[in-house]
Amino acid sequence: MCRVGLAVPGKFHARHYHPTALAGTFGAAAASGKLHGLTEDELVHAFGICGSQAGGIIEYLADGAWTKRLHPGWAAHAGVVATLLAQSGFTGPETVFEGEHGFYRAFAGEHDARRLDELLAGLGQTWEVERLTFKPYPCGSIAHPYMDCALRLREETRLAPDQIAEVRCRTAPGPVPRLWEPLAQKRAPQNGYAAKFSLPYLLAVILVKGRAGLAEFEDEAVRDPAVLAVASRVSYELDPAIDYPRQFVGHVRIRTHDGRELEARQDHPRGGAELPITPEELTAKFRGNAGLVVSAERAARVIESVTALATAASLRGLVEALTP
C-alpha cells in the first residue's frame, strides 16, 4: 500500500483522490492474497481486479461529510473481494499499474514505466511499514507538527488566548486546498469532522484548551466562541522550500497584542521514528478510544496481548481479547 502511493508522491491528492482509498485496495489484496495462498499468476490478477475497484474522492473536505471514514474499510473489502475472485479464476489486466489505460494513468495522470522501478525499489529489503507513524491527535496528520508547535508555545510562554493578535503559519502549497482553503470556511468549520481538516481550528483549539482529543471534535465543541475567535486570527503564507509530501513540517509564528513575536518549527510529525511517542502515550490513546465501545477490563486485556505478541506462541490471546 505504501509503495503504491510513494511511486507518485502527491499525485493522487492533486487529482482530488484520497490515497488510502486507492492504494489500500492493493495493500489489502497483497495481505489477503498471501493468507489465501494465491499463486503468482492469481496475485497478478487480483491486483488487476483492484484497479477497477479503487476509488474515493476528497470532496468530504467541502462540508465535513463522513465518506473519508468509509475509504479504509471499503478498500479492505475491495482487496479481499479481488483475492477471492482471482482465486476462483476471474482475471484482471496484467498491466494494471503501467498500462496505457492503467491505474497510474487514470488516477495520477502518469504513464511512465519508470514508476514500476520506484514501486519495486528495495522490495523485500526496505520495509516502508517501518516509517509509519502513530497519530497523537485524531485529525489530519499534516497538521500535527503545527499543533505541536502551538502547544509548545502555549506551554513555554503561558500564552493566554486574549493575548493573541495573529497566528501565521508557513506551509507548502500541497496541503492548502485540504487544510487552509476556503479560508473563511476553515476558520469556522461546519461540524466536528470538517474541523479535523481545518488548521485554523486545530491551532485555535490547542491554543485555547491545550488539547485536541475526541471531545474537541464533537459538533458542539467546534462552535465554541473562544476557539472560533482565535481561529479567525489564523492565516498562512506559502513556503515552497518545504518538500511536501516528503516532509511534514510545522512552522508557527504568533504575534501578541503587546508586540511580542513567538515562533516554533517542527520538522517531523510526532509519532514516527524521528519523534516517537512513548508507549504510555500510545496505550493512553488506545484506552481513550476503546473506552467508547468496550470496558476498561477488555481494553487492558488487548493491551496486554499486543505487548506480548513478540514472544507469543500464537495469536490466540489477542483474538480472544478482541472477541466479544
- Structure confidence at residue 66 (pLDDT): 94
C-alpha cell, 116: 514500476
- Please give the angle made by the CA atoms of 206, 218 and 134, to the nearest 5 degrees: 60
Residue type, 177: P
- Structure confidence at residue 50 (pLDDT): 98
Report DSSP state, residue 313. S
- Structure confidence at residue 219 (pLDDT): 96
User: Quick one: the chain helix, strand, coil %, rounded to 5?
Assistant: 55, 10, 40
Q: What is the pLDDT along the chain (324 residues), one digit of tens a residue?
A: 999 998 998 899 999 999 999 999 999 999 999 999 999 999 999 999 999 999 999 999 999 999 999 999 999 999 999 999 999 999 999 999 999 999 999 999 987 767 788 888 899 999 998 888 899 999 999 999 999 999 999 999 999 999 999 999 999 999 999 999 999 999 999 999 999 999 999 999 999 999 999 999 999 999 999 999 999 999 999 999 999 988 899 999 999 999 999 999 999 999 998 999 999 999 999 999 999 999 999 999 999 999 999 999 999 999 999 988
Domain 141-266 listed as CATH 3.40.1380.10: no
**Which residues in 183-207 are b (16+ Cβ under 10 Å) and which e?**
eebbbbbbbbbbbbbbbbbbbbbbb
Protein fold of 2-127 = 2-methylcitrate dehydratase PrpD (1.10.4100)
C-alpha cell, 14: 492533486
The domain spans of the chain are 2-127, 141-266, 279-322
Alpha-carbon distance of 201 to 207, in angstroms, equals 10
Alpha-carbon distance of 124 to 101, in angstroms, equals 28
Alpha-carbon distance of 185 to 63, in angstroms, equals 9
Q: How far is CA 277 from the centre of its chain?
A: 16
- Structure confidence at residue 114 (pLDDT): 74
Nearest CA-CA partner of 163 in 261, 251, 245, 65: 261
